Amino acid sequence: MRKFPLPLLAGHSSETLLLACVATFCIAADNGVTWFIARDEMLGKSSGALERGVIAAGFNDLEQAERDLLPLAASSREARDYLTAAYTRNGLVQKALALNGRSPFLQGLSKYPELSVSHRAYAQVPVSRDQRGRLFLPVSAAGMKALYQVDTGSGKSLMSLSEAMRLGVKVESVATTVMDLGGGKSEGHLAIVPSLSVGEMRLRNVPFLVIADGMLGVPGLLGIDVLLALQTVRWNPAGTFEVGFPSKGKDVQRSNLYFDGATPIAEVRSGVRRMTFVVDTGKDTTDLFPRYGGSGGIGAVFELYGYAGRSRVKGMIVPEVKLEVGGYETTLRPARVLTEKPPLWSEWHHGILGMDVLSQARAVTMDFVGMRLVVE
């Protein structure tokens, strides 16, 4: 019987982290199997509802996940946890709370209307970059102009306390612990921004975690919850950011993105090898994780930075690594390979894809309906 890994449901908050072993799935660090290989071997075969539902939840197919997992939720912790993660990242707070009534953060969030799209429309707006290549998007927040970072590596949208005060939004006592790539932890309090617009695309009741001034480094950042509401996003080096264009449609067999909790994971290839990489527009460099392996490099110590923490991680520098992601071939020259697990990310992934690679492309498209990453 083939054994498949189901990855850690990791986000940037203290919500439940789950390392699941489901039915015919079993964690095996050295078997080379990824979530995408598990999907390919399961589709078209006679598999159980739990296995189908877990795969559907990872690929953000909520309808299929509900069909398979809701009947099992009363008796299966795995069914509850994967559905809770899917509901939470999509802003379906009431449904998530019904499955996980013990979460104080969900309880606090449930007192407010859920995030929704009040007007869906195509929009094209200018996007700027800082010296590290990170994306900054002009928005209207609570009726005021703002420039927020686009961060696919953040499971929730964040803003500084001074920004919350500038917008005049109420900061609630509801709190959760926010974690970052550098191993830092900070307390974030809930604020609801009543309106958020990107061009003609308008969102309502957008939850932000408010972080103390001096920690976040930017006034605000848009996390996966907002990007999922936008559904489709595209940017290019010419300085254009697009939202609201038509999706290519849901096709799990062709998807090269899935969610590990609230974190988008892309399939990345190196020759015939199929790997999984975190997609993080908030990170400037691409790093390879211990699961990638590799040898023959020069020993090094790398510093990983977050807005609240900094870690030193052992690794090595190798001359070059060739990667293919979203149809785009690139070479890391040289490449950073961590031989020590970074503080936040799951040990089951092979690396983290940063803006040094994504900035090389003519255009980058993330379709969260079809769960497709296209790098041109």
Phi, psi of 170 (to 5 degrees): -80, 130
User: For position 357, what pLDDT does the model report?
Assistant: 95
Single out the residue of 36, 89, 29 nearest to residue 257, CA to CA.
36
Enter the pTM of the model.
0.90
User: Is residue 214 within 8 Å of 200, Cβ to Cβ?
Assistant: no
SS3 call for 356: helix
Single out the residue of 150, 138, 261, 154 nearest to residue 211, CA to CA.
154
Cβ neighbours, 10 Å, residue 300? 15
Q: Which two tokens stand for residue 96?
A: 């998530």
Q: Which two tokens stand for residue 349?
A: 């992934």
Strand partners of residue 300 = 315
Give the span between the Cα atoms of 12 and 185, in whole angstroms: 9
User: For position 260, what pLDDT does the model report?
Assistant: 93
Place of tokens 């939470």: 88
Give the span between the Cα atoms of 308 and 182, in whole angstroms: 7
pLDDT digits (tens, 9 = 90+) for 286-319: 999 999 998 888 999 988 877 667 789 999 999 9
Which positions ≥6 away from 194 have C-beta within 8 Å?
A: 142, 169, 204, 205
The angle at the Cα of 171, spanning 86 to 109, to the nearest 5 degrees, equals: 25
The angle at the Cα of 173, spanning 168 to 178, to the nearest 5 degrees, equals: 95
User: For position 185, what pLDDT does the model report?
Assistant: 74
List, in order of start, the domains of the chain with CATH numbers: 116-243 (2.40.70.10), 252-375 (2.40.70.10)
Cα 139 from chain centroid (whole Å) = 21
pLDDT tens-place values along the chain, 376 residues long: 233 333 333 333 322 222 333 333 333 334 567 889 888 887 766 678 898 899 999 999 999 999 999 999 999 999 999 999 999 999 999 999 999 888 888 898 999 999 999 999 999 999 999 988 999 999 999 999 999 999 999 999 999 999 999 999 999 888 788 777 767 777 889 999 999 999 999 999 999 999 998 888 899 999 999 999 999 999 998 999 999 999 999 988 899 999 999 999 999 999 999 999 999 999 999 999 999 998 888 999 988 877 667 789 999 999 999 999 999 999 999 999 999 988 877 788 999 999 999 999 999 999 999 999 999 9
Give the span between the Cα atoms of 303 and 268, in whole angstroms: 24
DSSP for 243-274, please give it: ESPPP----GGG--EEEETTEEEEEEEETTEE
pLDDT digits (tens, 9 = 90+) for 57-75: 999 999 999 999 999 999 9
Cβ neighbours, 10 Å, residue 212? 14
